[in-house]
Amino acid sequence: MRRMVEAVKPLPMVRSSSGHFIPWNRQSIVNSLLKETKLATMFFGVRPITEEEAESIALEVEAKIRSMDLKFVSGPLIREIVNTVLLEKGSLNPIYRIYRNVYTRVGTPVHDAYEIDIGKGFEAKENANLQPNAESLPPDELVVIDIGCGFRLTPIGEVIDKLIEKNPHKVMSNGRSEFLKVDEDLYVVSFDEDLKVKPQLVTAVVRHKGKEVYEVRLENGRKVKVTEDHNFFTIRDGELAPAPLSELGVGSYVAVPKAIRRRAIIHEINVVERLLNTCDNEELKLFYLRSEKVPKWLSKGALWPLFKRYGNRLIRNIPFTRKEWTNRISLWKHRRVMPLIAFKYLNISLNELDEHDEVCGWRTKKGYGIPAVLKLSRELGLILGLLISEGWLGSDTAARSLRSGFLNTKVSVSNTNEEVLLKLSEAWIKVFNRRPRLQGRGKIKRLILGTRSLMFLLKKGLDIPIAKSKFKTLPSWLYKAPEHCIAGFLEGIYLGDGDLNKGSISSTSKLLVQQIALLMLCLGIYPRTYSEKGGYEHVLYVRGASLLELRKLTGLPFKLSTPIEYGDVIPGVEALLVKL
């Protein structure tokens, strides 16, 4: 007789989180399930998994991994396969779905996140930038987030509160803390595994009662509020190493971002799309779309049924008879203009718009218009910089009004240097194809750019807020703009609020200064900030190699003292060179 022998595939090695390879051990899965499913009792009031059930699951996982014929597997992969088995069993017994909920990962496993939150486990002191350590930042501390439209400085508490309020049914709570696995396209700027700063995907958030908060001030003017458990990066033996605040003191060196990698670059803005997303129907009635494609769009659509359904809720001051309505549509076709709200209800594709189409304030005059699709050029950046630094955008009430008004209803830029205004005028003509009017006989002259409709278009279409100087901010899309557009903005902001001899910008808006600093980091320019006049004035300045780079980008004649400054030197580098 011949004996048939079937070869059994060997099990792969397991790569641990520390990078070491260890032999396969099925009992590790059993122990992990027994330990972590205890949270099912705490969170959901059901029994934890039994040892027999855990062994059965471990056997299934082992069989699946053996069939994959892999040379090695990682811990996260094993966990995902365990979760797959739990989901399969959940179709027969719902309790396994609960086990899967507490066994999944929220950036780190739920069980480890829970121990981090209550201060237990080896990860309890891990760096908040690398692990979701919920005890690191108070709710009013600003963090840099990206939800797809560009960077935004937002209080971390506001971000987490909105997520939890939006998904209350997904929140897990232990009475002291709330855990939420995040499935949205939300990124925060933080250190990655290579200690480089870039947007990192948020996988989970935790909200809980806070500990004692400390304010850390750096010599470059930056401040941050943290708990004593929050880790910073410091230099130890010539290398970056994490250290909790409790181990640092006055004079300690910590690593800060010198550059931030951006996720994506955009080259144009669809102004119509932004208006449709930010305006309600009453606001949309204020605007019209000019385009050679209007006759085609109106021929396609069934505006009469829409009008009969919505009436004056759709379009203001429109007669109700079919004949008068037909005459009005004929007039729109002849003038190549249509209400923006009609464009919305006709469901016309935004892809049909281009830079030759315009959005304007009203149809009966040659009112002010801006391109429906706006290219993010250097000239647009210059315009934005001078608008924010030296511009007057009027009031929100004036922006909504359609009546002729006074000087406070006009958008203008003032400056004592007429050459700056002429440069702005040239940029305006190139971007908007309209010539502004120069006013003023004295020392200060004013360039009139537009009136009421422009105010509202700037606010709703380009995200430029109509605000007093103390509350000025940057539009979030600027962080995703090309380098030449940002360079134009920095040129404009320095021509308005800057001091070329000191390489500084001053503003009463603290948030604006912080946003400009973040924008500079996106280009690898390292700024410093401080406050003066009792906190009323906020100043940003650039020195050393960063000032050389800023001069190259903007073309401005900054006064250079030395190409290297103290902040460009890594502490201890001389000793390291001697040692080598």
CATH 3.10.28.10 in the chain is located at 376-554
User: For residue 550, what pLDDT is reported?
Assistant: 93
Residue 307 structure tokens: 């009008």
pLDDT of residue 127: 38
Q: 3.30.365.10, 1.10.10.10, 2.170.16.10, 3.40.50.2300: which CATH number matches 119-247?
A: 2.170.16.10
pTM over 0.85: no
- Give me the pLDDT at residue 268, please: 93
Report, as ranges of residue numbers, the positions in the chain whose pLDDT lies below 50. Answer: 1-2, 4-6, 18, 116-135, 363-365, 398, 402-407, 570-580
Q: What CATH fold (topology level) applies to the domain 376-554? A: Endonuclease I-creI (3.10.28)
Beta bridge partner(s), residue 186: none
**8-state DSSP, 470:** G
Looking at residue 573, its amino acid is V
Write down the pLDDT at residue 407. 44
**b/e for 29-45, b at 16 or more Cβ within 10 A?**
bbebbbebbbbbeebee
Confirm if 325 and 318 have CB atoms less than 8 A apart: yes
**Start-end of CATH 2.170.16.10 domains in the chain:** 119-247
| Dihedral (CA of 353, 357, 358, 364) sign | negative
What's the pLDDT score for residue 199? Answer: 78
* Structure tokens that stand for 528 in this block: 């410093």
Looking at residue 220, its amino acid is: N
Token duo for residue 159 = 């971000």
pLDDT for res 326:
75
Q: What is the pLDDT of residue 403?
A: 47
The token pair that represents 475 in the structure block: 């539009």
In the β-sheet with 358-360, what is the strand arrangement from edge to edge? 337-339, 288-290, 358-360, 369-371
Q: Would strands 411-415 and 337-339 be described as parallel, antiparallel, or unpaired?
A: unpaired
